[in-house]
Amino acid sequence: MLDKVIFFFFAGVAILSAALMVTRRNAMHSAVFLITTLLATAGIFLQLRAEFIFIAQVILYVGGIMVLFIFVIMLVSLDVALHQVQFSRQKWVALFVTLALAAEVGVMLWSSRQVPGQGFLVPNAMPAGKLPANTEALAGRLFDAYLLPFEIASVLLLVAMVGAVVMAKKRT
Amino acid sequence: MMPIGYYLFLSMALFLIGAIGVITRRNVIVVLMSIELILNAANINLVAFSRIFGDVAGQVFALFIIADAAAEAAVGLGIIIAFFRNRETVLEDEMGLLKW
Protein backbone atom coordinates (compact mmCIF):
# COMPACT_ATOMS: atom_id res chain seq x y z
CA MET A 1 0.00 0.00 0.00
CA LEU A 2 2.72 2.47 1.01
CA ASP A 3 4.73 1.30 -2.01
CA LYS A 4 1.80 2.20 -4.23
CA VAL A 5 1.33 5.67 -2.72
CA ILE A 6 5.05 6.46 -3.08
CA PHE A 7 5.14 5.21 -6.66
CA PHE A 8 2.11 7.19 -7.81
CA PHE A 9 3.30 10.34 -6.04
CA PHE A 10 6.73 10.29 -7.68
CA ALA A 11 5.39 9.16 -11.06
CA GLY A 12 2.83 11.98 -11.07
CA VAL A 13 5.44 14.57 -10.14
CA ALA A 14 7.82 13.23 -12.81
CA ILE A 15 5.30 13.27 -15.65
CA LEU A 16 3.76 16.62 -14.69
CA SER A 17 7.05 18.46 -14.42
CA ALA A 18 8.37 16.79 -17.59
CA ALA A 19 5.36 18.14 -19.47
CA LEU A 20 5.93 21.58 -17.94
CA MET A 21 9.61 21.37 -18.91
CA VAL A 22 8.82 20.88 -22.58
CA THR A 23 6.21 23.64 -22.71
CA ARG A 24 7.83 26.50 -20.74
CA ARG A 25 9.01 29.52 -22.72
CA ASN A 26 11.99 30.42 -20.57
CA ALA A 27 14.91 27.96 -20.78
CA MET A 28 15.73 28.54 -17.11
CA HIS A 29 12.22 27.47 -16.06
CA SER A 30 12.66 24.36 -18.22
CA ALA A 31 15.89 23.58 -16.38
CA VAL A 32 14.20 23.90 -12.97
CA PHE A 33 11.35 21.60 -14.03
CA LEU A 34 13.88 19.10 -15.40
CA ILE A 35 15.55 19.10 -11.98
CA THR A 36 12.16 18.30 -10.41
CA THR A 37 11.67 15.43 -12.87
CA LEU A 38 15.12 14.02 -12.14
CA LEU A 39 14.54 14.18 -8.38
CA ALA A 40 11.16 12.42 -8.77
CA THR A 41 12.89 9.73 -10.86
CA ALA A 42 15.44 9.39 -8.07
CA GLY A 43 12.48 8.73 -5.75
CA ILE A 44 11.31 5.97 -8.12
CA PHE A 45 14.80 4.42 -7.95
CA LEU A 46 14.63 4.48 -4.16
CA GLN A 47 11.21 2.83 -4.28
CA LEU A 48 12.83 0.11 -6.44
CA ARG A 49 15.46 -0.38 -3.67
CA ALA A 50 18.31 0.83 -5.89
CA GLU A 51 19.99 3.05 -3.31
CA PHE A 52 23.27 3.53 -5.14
CA ILE A 53 21.60 4.65 -8.36
CA PHE A 54 19.44 7.00 -6.28
CA ILE A 55 22.51 8.69 -4.80
CA ALA A 56 24.29 8.76 -8.17
CA GLN A 57 21.22 10.33 -9.75
CA VAL A 58 20.99 13.07 -7.12
CA ILE A 59 24.71 13.87 -7.03
CA LEU A 60 25.65 13.40 -10.70
CA TYR A 61 22.52 14.47 -12.56
CA VAL A 62 21.06 17.14 -10.30
CA GLY A 63 24.30 18.29 -8.72
CA GLY A 64 26.58 18.02 -11.75
CA ILE A 65 24.92 17.96 -15.14
CA MET A 66 22.08 20.34 -14.33
CA VAL A 67 24.46 22.89 -12.82
CA LEU A 68 26.39 22.74 -16.10
CA PHE A 69 23.15 23.34 -18.02
CA ILE A 70 22.22 26.32 -15.85
CA PHE A 71 25.69 27.83 -16.29
CA VAL A 72 25.37 27.56 -20.06
CA ILE A 73 21.82 28.99 -20.04
CA MET A 74 23.08 32.00 -18.11
CA LEU A 75 26.06 32.41 -20.48
CA VAL A 76 24.08 32.02 -23.68
CA SER A 77 20.47 33.12 -23.22
CA LEU A 78 19.46 36.45 -24.69
CA ASP A 79 16.49 38.39 -23.37
CA VAL A 80 15.42 38.94 -26.96
CA ALA A 81 15.00 35.22 -27.48
CA LEU A 82 12.27 35.06 -24.83
CA HIS A 83 9.87 37.03 -27.00
CA GLN A 84 10.32 34.86 -30.07
CA VAL A 85 8.39 31.75 -31.02
CA GLN A 86 9.73 28.83 -29.00
CA PHE A 87 8.39 25.98 -31.09
CA SER A 88 9.43 24.97 -34.58
CA ARG A 89 6.63 24.05 -36.96
CA GLN A 90 6.97 20.30 -36.61
CA LYS A 91 4.00 19.46 -34.46
CA TRP A 92 2.54 16.98 -36.98
CA VAL A 93 5.81 15.06 -37.07
CA ALA A 94 5.83 15.09 -33.27
CA LEU A 95 2.23 13.88 -33.13
CA PHE A 96 2.94 11.06 -35.58
CA VAL A 97 6.09 9.87 -33.79
CA THR A 98 4.34 10.01 -30.42
CA LEU A 99 1.29 8.08 -31.58
CA ALA A 100 3.41 5.44 -33.31
CA LEU A 101 5.58 4.84 -30.23
CA ALA A 102 2.59 4.85 -27.87
CA ALA A 103 0.73 2.35 -30.07
CA GLU A 104 3.79 0.11 -30.15
CA VAL A 105 4.17 0.02 -26.37
CA GLY A 106 0.42 -0.31 -25.92
CA VAL A 107 0.30 -3.38 -28.16
CA MET A 108 3.27 -4.85 -26.27
CA LEU A 109 1.62 -4.37 -22.87
CA TRP A 110 -1.75 -5.64 -24.14
CA SER A 111 -0.37 -8.76 -25.84
CA SER A 112 1.82 -9.65 -22.83
CA ARG A 113 -1.39 -9.80 -20.84
CA GLN A 114 -2.86 -12.53 -23.03
CA VAL A 115 -0.49 -15.23 -21.74
CA PRO A 116 -1.55 -16.02 -18.17
CA GLY A 117 1.28 -15.98 -15.65
CA GLN A 118 3.78 -14.61 -18.16
CA GLY A 119 2.69 -11.00 -18.55
CA PHE A 120 4.54 -7.86 -17.65
CA LEU A 121 1.75 -6.91 -15.25
CA VAL A 122 2.47 -9.86 -12.95
CA PRO A 123 4.69 -9.00 -9.97
CA ASN A 124 7.16 -11.75 -9.18
CA ALA A 125 10.10 -9.87 -7.69
CA MET A 126 12.02 -10.89 -4.61
CA PRO A 127 10.58 -9.39 -1.40
CA ALA A 128 12.45 -6.28 -0.35
CA GLY A 129 13.75 -7.75 2.90
CA LYS A 130 15.61 -10.55 1.10
CA LEU A 131 17.65 -8.37 -1.26
CA PRO A 132 21.41 -8.23 -0.69
CA ALA A 133 23.02 -4.93 0.27
CA ASN A 134 22.64 -2.84 -2.86
CA THR A 135 25.95 -0.96 -3.00
CA GLU A 136 27.92 -4.08 -2.14
CA ALA A 137 26.22 -6.18 -4.83
CA LEU A 138 26.60 -3.41 -7.38
CA ALA A 139 30.29 -2.93 -6.64
CA GLY A 140 30.94 -6.65 -6.78
CA ARG A 141 29.32 -6.89 -10.20
CA LEU A 142 30.82 -3.66 -11.55
CA PHE A 143 34.42 -4.47 -10.66
CA ASP A 144 34.17 -8.13 -11.60
CA ALA A 145 32.14 -8.86 -14.71
CA TYR A 146 31.94 -5.29 -16.03
CA LEU A 147 35.49 -4.10 -15.38
CA LEU A 148 36.34 -3.50 -19.04
CA PRO A 149 33.20 -1.38 -19.74
CA PHE A 150 34.02 0.56 -16.57
CA GLU A 151 37.51 1.41 -17.85
CA ILE A 152 36.10 2.32 -21.27
CA ALA A 153 33.61 4.64 -19.57
CA SER A 154 36.44 6.38 -17.75
CA VAL A 155 38.31 6.91 -21.04
CA LEU A 156 35.08 8.23 -22.56
CA LEU A 157 34.71 10.76 -19.74
CA LEU A 158 38.33 11.86 -20.23
CA VAL A 159 37.78 12.36 -23.96
CA ALA A 160 34.55 14.29 -23.31
CA MET A 161 36.31 16.53 -20.77
CA VAL A 162 39.19 17.34 -23.14
CA GLY A 163 36.76 17.89 -26.03
CA ALA A 164 34.53 20.23 -24.03
CA VAL A 165 37.50 22.34 -22.93
CA VAL A 166 38.92 22.50 -26.47
CA MET A 167 35.59 23.55 -27.98
CA ALA A 168 34.57 26.04 -25.30
CA LYS A 169 37.87 27.90 -25.02
CA LYS A 170 38.50 31.13 -26.89
CA ARG A 171 40.26 30.75 -30.21
CA THR A 172 43.70 32.32 -30.06
CA MET B 1 7.17 -3.83 -5.69
CA MET B 2 4.48 -2.74 -8.10
CA PRO B 3 3.76 -4.78 -11.28
CA ILE B 4 6.35 -3.91 -13.89
CA GLY B 5 3.78 -2.59 -16.34
CA TYR B 6 3.44 0.58 -14.26
CA TYR B 7 7.17 1.26 -14.55
CA LEU B 8 7.11 0.59 -18.28
CA PHE B 9 4.22 3.00 -18.64
CA LEU B 10 6.00 5.73 -16.64
CA SER B 11 9.14 5.20 -18.70
CA MET B 12 7.17 5.37 -21.94
CA ALA B 13 5.47 8.60 -20.87
CA LEU B 14 8.77 10.30 -20.01
CA PHE B 15 10.34 9.05 -23.26
CA LEU B 16 7.48 10.40 -25.35
CA ILE B 17 7.54 13.79 -23.61
CA GLY B 18 11.29 13.93 -24.28
CA ALA B 19 10.77 12.97 -27.93
CA ILE B 20 8.16 15.72 -28.32
CA GLY B 21 10.64 18.18 -26.82
CA VAL B 22 13.41 17.11 -29.19
CA ILE B 23 11.17 17.44 -32.25
CA THR B 24 9.27 20.63 -31.48
CA ARG B 25 11.52 22.98 -29.49
CA ARG B 26 13.67 25.59 -31.21
CA ASN B 27 16.11 26.31 -28.40
CA VAL B 28 19.02 23.88 -28.66
CA ILE B 29 19.62 23.88 -24.89
CA VAL B 30 16.05 22.70 -24.27
CA VAL B 31 16.54 20.02 -26.94
CA LEU B 32 19.63 18.79 -25.07
CA MET B 33 17.63 18.75 -21.82
CA SER B 34 14.93 16.66 -23.53
CA ILE B 35 17.63 14.17 -24.53
CA GLU B 36 18.62 13.93 -20.85
CA LEU B 37 14.96 13.15 -20.10
CA ILE B 38 14.97 10.33 -22.68
CA LEU B 39 18.13 8.80 -21.18
CA ASN B 40 16.50 9.00 -17.76
CA ALA B 41 13.42 7.16 -19.02
CA ALA B 42 15.69 4.35 -20.24
CA ASN B 43 17.25 4.21 -16.76
CA ILE B 44 13.85 3.61 -15.15
CA ASN B 45 13.35 0.56 -17.38
CA LEU B 46 16.80 -0.85 -16.57
CA VAL B 47 16.40 -0.45 -12.82
CA ALA B 48 12.85 -1.85 -12.81
CA PHE B 49 13.90 -4.99 -14.72
CA SER B 50 16.96 -5.34 -12.50
CA ARG B 51 14.63 -5.35 -9.48
CA ILE B 52 12.18 -7.85 -10.96
CA PHE B 53 14.91 -10.33 -11.94
CA GLY B 54 16.88 -9.78 -8.72
CA ASP B 55 20.07 -9.10 -10.71
CA VAL B 56 22.15 -5.92 -10.28
CA ALA B 57 23.48 -5.96 -13.87
CA GLY B 58 20.69 -3.59 -14.90
CA GLN B 59 21.80 -1.09 -12.29
CA VAL B 60 25.39 -1.34 -13.57
CA PHE B 61 24.14 -0.36 -17.01
CA ALA B 62 22.08 2.48 -15.50
CA LEU B 63 25.33 3.76 -14.00
CA PHE B 64 27.02 3.61 -17.42
CA ILE B 65 24.10 5.54 -18.93
CA ILE B 66 24.50 8.26 -16.29
CA ALA B 67 28.22 8.52 -17.18
CA ASP B 68 27.35 8.72 -20.89
CA ALA B 69 24.79 11.45 -20.18
CA ALA B 70 27.46 13.46 -18.38
CA ALA B 71 29.87 13.10 -21.32
CA GLU B 72 27.15 13.99 -23.82
CA ALA B 73 26.09 17.07 -21.85
CA ALA B 74 29.68 18.31 -21.55
CA VAL B 75 30.44 17.95 -25.27
CA GLY B 76 27.01 19.26 -26.37
CA LEU B 77 27.18 22.34 -24.19
CA GLY B 78 30.76 22.98 -25.40
CA ILE B 79 29.51 22.92 -28.98
CA ILE B 80 26.62 25.24 -28.09
CA ILE B 81 28.97 27.77 -26.46
CA ALA B 82 31.35 27.67 -29.43
CA PHE B 83 28.45 28.13 -31.85
CA PHE B 84 26.94 30.97 -29.83
CA ARG B 85 30.28 32.79 -29.85
CA ASN B 86 30.37 32.63 -33.66
CA ARG B 87 26.71 33.14 -34.61
CA GLU B 88 24.96 34.78 -31.61
CA THR B 89 22.06 32.33 -31.71
CA VAL B 90 20.90 29.15 -30.00
CA LEU B 91 17.83 28.55 -32.14
CA GLU B 92 18.13 25.43 -34.23
CA ASP B 93 16.31 26.65 -37.36
CA GLU B 94 18.81 29.50 -37.63
CA MET B 95 21.65 26.98 -37.72
CA GLY B 96 21.37 26.46 -41.49
CA LEU B 97 25.00 27.01 -42.47
CA LEU B 98 25.37 23.68 -44.23
CA LYS B 99 22.01 23.99 -45.96
CA TRP B 100 22.25 25.32 -49.48
Segment A57-69, tens digit of pLDDT: 999 999 999 999 9
In a domain, A26, yes or no: yes
- Among A30, A63, A87, which residue terminates a domain? A87
Give the predicted TM-score (pTM) of the model.
0.88
More confident site: B67 or A116: B67
Q: For chain B, how big is the Rg over CA atoms in Å? A: 17
Query: Is residue A118 predicted with pLDDT exceeding 60?
Result: no
Which of A156, A56, A155, A65 minimizes the C-alpha distance to B59? A56
Residues A158 and A76 grouped into a single domain: no
Segment A12-57, tens digit of pLDDT: 999 999 999 998 888 889 999 999 999 999 999 999 888 999 999 9
Amino acid A124: pLDDT: 61
Q: Which of A76, A88, A98 sits opposite B84 (nearest CB)?
A: A76
Contacts of A84 in chain B (CB under 8 A): 26, 91
More confident site: A80 or A74: A74
* Lowest-confidence pick of A1-5, A84-88, B68-72, B86-90: A84-88
Which of B97, B92, B99 minimizes the C-alpha distance to B30? B92
Full domain range(s) for residue A22: 1-87
In a domain, A114, yes or no: no
B27 touching A (Cβ < 8 Å): yes
Task: List, in order, residues 6 or more apart from A135 with CB less than 8 Å away.
Answer: A51, A52
In a domain, B18, yes or no: no
In a domain, B76, yes or no: yes
In a domain, B42, yes or no: yes
Amino acid A121: pLDDT: 55
- Among A54, A87, A120, which residue terminates a domain? A87
Full domain range(s) for residue B49: 24-89
Task: Give how far A98 is from chain B: nearest CA, Å.
Answer: 6
State whether A138 and B60 contact (CB < 8 Å): yes
Name the residue in chain A with its Cα closest to that of B93: A88
In a domain, A78, yes or no: yes
State whether B25 and A159 contact (CB < 8 Å): no
What ipTM goes with this model?
Answer: 0.91
Per-residue pLDDT tens, chain B, 100 aa: give them.
Answer: 677 878 888 999 999 999 999 988 888 899 999 999 999 999 999 999 888 888 889 999 999 999 999 999 999 998 888 888 888 777 877 777 777 6
Q: List alpha helices for B1-100, DSSP H.
A: 4-24, 28-53, 57-87
Q: Which of B25, B33, B59 sits opposite A31 (nearest CB)?
A: B33
Q: Which of A4, A45, A125 sits opposite B52 (nearest CB)?
A: A125
State whether A167 and B30 contact (CB < 8 Å): no
Q: Which of residues 61-90 of B touch A (CB under 8 A)?
A: 62-64, 66-75, 77-82, 84-85, 88, 90
Count of domains in chain B?
A: 1
Query: How far, in Å, are A46, A157, A162, B21 from residue B47 at the CA level?
Result: 10, 23, 31, 24
In a domain, A102, yes or no: no
- Among A52, A71, A87, which residue terminates a domain? A87
Amino acid B34: pLDDT: 94
The CATH number linked to A80 is 1.20.120.1200
Contacts of A164 in chain B (CB under 8 A): 74-75, 77-78
The CATH number linked to B46 is 1.10.287.3510
pLDDT confidence band for A2 (50 / 70 / 90): confident
Count of domains in chain A?
A: 2
More confident site: A82 or A137: A137
In a domain, A48, yes or no: yes
Average pLDDT taken over every residue of chain A: 84
In a domain, B84, yes or no: yes
In a domain, A6, yes or no: yes
Task: Give how far A70 is from chain B: nearest CA, Å.
Answer: 10
In a domain, A164, yes or no: yes
